[in-house]
Structure 1
Amino acid sequence: MQLTFAGQTLALTVENLIVAGWTGRDMAGVQHHIDELAELGIAPPSQVPLYYRVSNSLPTQDAQIEVLGEGTSGEVEPLLLQHDGKLWLGVASDHTDRDLEVYSVAASKQACPKPIGAEVWDFDEVKDDLDSLELRCLIREKDDWVIYQEGTLAAIRPLADLMGGTKFGENTAMLCGTLGAIGGVRPAAAYRMELVDPARDRKITLEYSVRTLPIVA
């Protein structure tokens, strides 16, 4: 899958796509979430953090994605990319099949496209300010846009640590984990996401809608 980014001479062919999970910096909070999911029948991770390998065909920059059934939802996440030996930072959505998650978290990650924002920043420019970067996600519910996720990267493990925990190399993209959902995890018709750099007064945005396909038997 090839991605292109506005403002950069970067046309990246993704050869390896990783979705990092259970990346919260507060381990007590991570364990609480694991316990909550266990009550729903979702098996705990084999390690924390955990790196899910998914198909390199999943990244998309389309304005609409198609998913099977009503039980999917997106999550705003920082995105790391390596191209020609250089690191870039962007924003992406780990759109996931929540119904399938009960059977297999790995399968639920593989089941949905991964929307990617159309801009990236030079990682070296922001590496000293990562904890101050802000993630935000709004969802459309009943014709209104409501805050769904909001916080800073200080809530996520340091990105350098996440890279060191897996085979992160050339033409690799990694979604680096997310923030808690305000009001609980739930589906939505559309998403507006952003990664904000307050020190430089700039942001990367990502917006997409969801087309739901029927489940037939």
Structure 2
Amino acid sequence: MSQLTFTLPDGTVENVAVTTLLNAGYAGRNQEEVASHIAELAELGVPAPTTIPALYPISPYLAQQATTVSVQHGRTSGEAEWALVITDDDVLLTVACDHTDRDLEVHSVAWSKNAAPDVLGSRAWRLSEIADRLDDITLSAWVGQGDGEPSTLIQSGTLADLLAPKYWLDVLRERGLHKAGTVLVSGTISMRHGVDQFADAWKVEMRDPSTGDTLTCSYRTVRMPAPIG
């Protein structure tokens, strides 16, 4: 189980013990966008999904608010996403980066997403307070190589590019998972062509243009020691 802490715009702090973690996949509203993402994955050898959208259960301890992510090799990468966090009496929205093992992904998307954490931001918004302008909120990601900060734009869009939180809240209710401790990560938007996704650092930002408020998460990857045997 993972313990997460979120600070809200009014200064309130919410502590959440994660009991269920779910990653959505192929969750774009625009089917051309979904097809583009599937094509990106196909270039890496990942077979097309049998059901769209998909939903993958992830080990709850992989919901983290980390600044470093340990990786076994150089073919891992993040994905810009949002995350729903259900508390005892509310639903929060925060920014997230789903780090994925691309070598493992060609064998199983579900396995690959259990090989690295979902990194979440430390700040969040109450979903009810931004529900009327969700589609205007921007979602962007930057990558960096070596010791450099993430400064190369790799993903850019808005929440209108993805299935709405309401869609997934209905799915959670249908499955009996709309309860405190559930975290659902949204699925991602397409990456820019020509940008190396196998980066050493990632930063994801959600921005509310009506207030200028931003939620961010960022981390660096750290290579594990070589195995013995």
* Residues 32, 93 of structure 1: alpha-carbon distance in 2 compared, 3 angstrom cutoff: closer
- Give the corresponding residue for 1:119: 123
* Alignment-derived partner of residue 102 in structure 1: 106
Q: Give the count of matched residue pairs.
A: 217
Provide the secondary structure at the position in 2 that maps to 1:191: strand
Deviations 1:41-60 (A, max 9, x none): 42222211100000001011
In the alignment, structure 1 residue 212 sits paired with structure 2 residue 223: yes
| 2-structure distance, mates of 1:194, 1:2 | 22
Q: Take 1:21 and 1:185, find their aligned partners in 2: how far apart are those partners?
A: 21
Opposite residue 137 of structure 1, the aligned amino acid is A
Report if the CA contact (8 A) 1:42-1:101 is conserved. yes
- Taking the TM superposition and a 5 Å limit, the aligned residue runs for 1:1-217 are 1-6=2-7, 7-35=11-39, 37-38=41-42, 40-141=44-145, 143=148, 145-166=151-172, 167=175, 168-170=177-179, 171-183=181-193, 186-216=197-227, 217=229
The one-letter code of the counterpart of 1:197 is D
Any idea what the Cα deviations from partners look like across 1:164-189, whole Å, max 9, x if unmatched?
A: 23434111001101111113562111
Any idea what SS the aligned residue of 2:160 has?
helix
TM-score, with normalisation over the residues of structure 1? 0.93
Question: Are residues 136 and 39 of structure 1, via their aligned partners in 2, closer, same or farther at CA, if it must alter by over 3 Å?
Answer: closer
Change (3 A) 1:182 1:85: same
Distance in 2 between the 1:63 and 1:28 partners?
A: 33
Moved more, 132-141 or 161-170: 161-170
Cα distance between partner residues in 2 of 1:63 and 1:8: 23
Q: Give the counterpart letter for 2:216 in structure 1.
A: T
Are residues 193 and 48 of structure 1, via their aligned partners in 2, closer, same or farther at CA, if it must alter by over 3 Å?
A: same
Q: 1:36: Cα distance to partner?
A: 5.3
Structure 2 letter corresponding to 1:211: V
* TM-score where L is the length of structure 2: 0.88
Compared CA separation, residues 60 and 23, structure 1 to 2 (3 A) = same
Query: Unaligned regions of 5+ residues in structure 2, if any?
Result: none
Q: Residues 186 and 53 from structure 1, CA distance in 2 versus in 1: closer, same or farther, beyond 3 angstroms? A: same
Give secondary structure in 2 for the equivalent of 1:92.
Answer: strand
- 8 Å Cα contact 2:79/2:98 also seen in 1: yes
